[in-house]
Amino acid sequence: MIAKQLISEIIQPLKTSNTGTEAINWMNIFKVSHLPIVNNTIFLGLISEDDIFDLNITDQPIGNHKLSLNKAYVFEFEHIYIALKTINENNLTILPVLDSKKNYLGVISSFDIIKYFSNLSNVSREGGIIILEMHQNDYSLVEISNIIESNDAKILSLYVNSIPKTTKLNITIKVNITNISGIIQTFNRYNYNIKSTFLDTDLTKEMYKERYEEFLKYLNI
């Protein structure tokens, strides 16, 4: 997935002639805290709610004031991971997408990125979750897959996170069955360290939210 494929068809850019009040109203409508300012196809920068209120420019055209605009953006051909990293590093609710000549194409919303990764992770599908902890040298995707498939299950998603200041990894695995007792027994037989397991749907969503936040922190390193 590249950035161009997640451009919003709803969120529109501001012009320098728009007032601060108009900008705030648009942000409320689009449920974002930032909007791009564009002159024809030239991206000028991002304005935030704080910019408008701090400078008290609610009733004046935003182009009448010198703004310290955030110039964060992503190129249309860049991977969605780059977009996610840029949004996280700049604490943005939207991210402009430019073509190779830096013409403005549209924006990606943080909501759409989260939705994309949720779908990618099969969050909505029921299943069991197992978190393994191991040293980096012991990690073998082939062996883990074989153990799971030997118990008539399939991997729906798998994430690998480094544990800070150690040589250890957390391996988060979601499988397509809720009865994971057989998988757990097999992992124990092969001396895997099972850190935790999840079965309930609500717990599943909460766990994936935590893993997503850890993923954002990882990208921000």
Q: What is the CATH number of domain 121-219?
A: 3.30.70.260
What are the start and end residues of each CATH 3.30.70.260 domain in the chain?
121-219
- Enumerate the H helices of 61-200 as residue ranges: 80-90, 110-120, 141-149, 181-189
- The structure tokens listed for 179 are 């009865």
Please tell me the pTM assigned to this model. 0.65
List Cβ neighbours of 217 (8 Å cut-off, separation of 6 or more): none
**Under CATH, what is the fold of the domain 3-118?**
CBS-domain (3.10.580)
d(CA 132, CA 192) in angstroms, rounded, equals 7
- The structure tokens listed for 122 are 């099969």
Residue 103: the pLDDT is 96
- The series of mean pLDDT values per 10 residues for the chain, 221 residues long, is 91 92 92 93 92 78 79 93 90 95 95 78 76 95 96 91 92 91 95 86 55 58 45
Residue 216: the pLDDT is 60
Q: Classify 130 in phi/psi space as left (phi over 0), alpha (psi -120 to 50) or beta.
A: beta
Residue 215: the pLDDT is 57
Closest C-alpha among 77, 70, 72 to residue 7: 77
Task: List beta partners, residue 158.
Answer: 173
DSSP strands (E only) in 2-98? 34-39, 42-48, 74-75, 94-98
What are the start and end residues of each CATH 3.10.580.10 domain in the chain?
3-118
